[in-house]
């Protein structure tokens, strides 16, 4: 009811006395605190123009929350032995250890079911090469990672996984 008042105020003709505005003022404050409560549960501000951060800054430094940036970093994750692939949003994670925790959560069951073998996380990069995860800075990783695979260590020998290019050059010189 209070919220309705806020919306329709301007358009409705009021026959009440000017003194009636006292209640509206407190209604506004009350409405705001109601909105604040919502805000805390939604995680999103309902009040226009608050906090007073200019719109350019809002669009450009908090991009992660807008959705447009996050969807860019969704990658498929497959795990040897697990029946279904999963999708994970790399942008939501701060680093490799954070990612490892998330992967454990996703594939917990399959990890437990596997007979005590070790797993190796590899990823396909922009060039189509399969790389060992963990070598390059996290930010570089999320920019170049196209998909992830949690591979059984025992399968590695037959796979032909590449080392990062610089290291490869080094070995070739020899």
Q: Binders of other proteins among 84-123, rule CB under 8 A?
A: 94
Q: In the complex, what is the shortest distance from the CB of residue 75 to other proteins, in angstroms, rounded to a whole number? A: 18
> b or e along 96-118 (b: 16 or more beta carbons within 10 Å of the residue's beta carbon)?
eeebeebbeebbeebbeebeeee
| Shortest Cβ 174–other proteins spacing (Å) | 19
Nearest CA-CA partner of 130 in 146, 108, 142, 113: 146
Our CB check for other proteins shows the closer of 23 and 101 to be 23
List all residues 6 or more positions away from 133 whose beta carbon is below 8 Å from its beta carbon: 96, 121, 122, 123, 141, 145, 148
Question: How many Å apart are CA 159 and CA 145, to the nearest integer?
Answer: 18
Smallest distance from the beta carbon of 53 to other proteins, in angstroms?
A: 5
- Smallest distance from other proteins to CB 111, Å: 29
76: left (phi over 0), alpha (psi -120 to 50) or beta: beta
- Write the interaction track for other proteins spanning residues 48-87; mark x where CB under 8 A is met and - where it is not: xxxxxxxxxxx-xxxxxx----------------------
Q: Which is nearer to other proteins, 12 or 174 (CB)?
A: 12
Tokens of 80: 């040897």
* Interacting residues with other proteins (CB under 8 A): 9-11, 13-14, 18, 21, 24-25, 28-29, 32-33, 36, 39-40, 43-45, 47-58, 60-65, 94, 136-140, 143, 166
């Amino acid at each position: 009811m209070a919220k309705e008042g806020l919306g329709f105020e301007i358009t409705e003709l009021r026959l009440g006395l000017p003194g009636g505005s006292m209640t509206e003022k407190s209604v506004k404050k009350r409405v705001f605190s109601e909105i604040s409560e919502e805000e805390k549960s939604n995680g999103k501000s309902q009040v226009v123009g608050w906090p007073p951060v200019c719109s350019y800054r809002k669009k450009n430094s908090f991009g992660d929350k807008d959705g447009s940036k996050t969807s860019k970093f969704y990658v498929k994750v497959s795990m040897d032995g697990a029946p279904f692939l999963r999708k994970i949003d790399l942008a939501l994670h701060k680093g490799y250890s954070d990612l490892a925790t998330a992967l454990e959560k996703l594939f917990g069951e399959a990890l437990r079911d596997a007979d005590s073998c070790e797993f190796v996380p590899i990823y396909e990069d922009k060039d189509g090469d399969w790389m060992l995860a963990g070598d390059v800075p996290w930010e570089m990783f999320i920019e170049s990672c196209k998909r992830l695979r949690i591979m059984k260590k025992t399968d590695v020998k037959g796979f032909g996984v590449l080392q990062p290019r610089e290291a490869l050059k080094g070995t070739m010189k020899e």
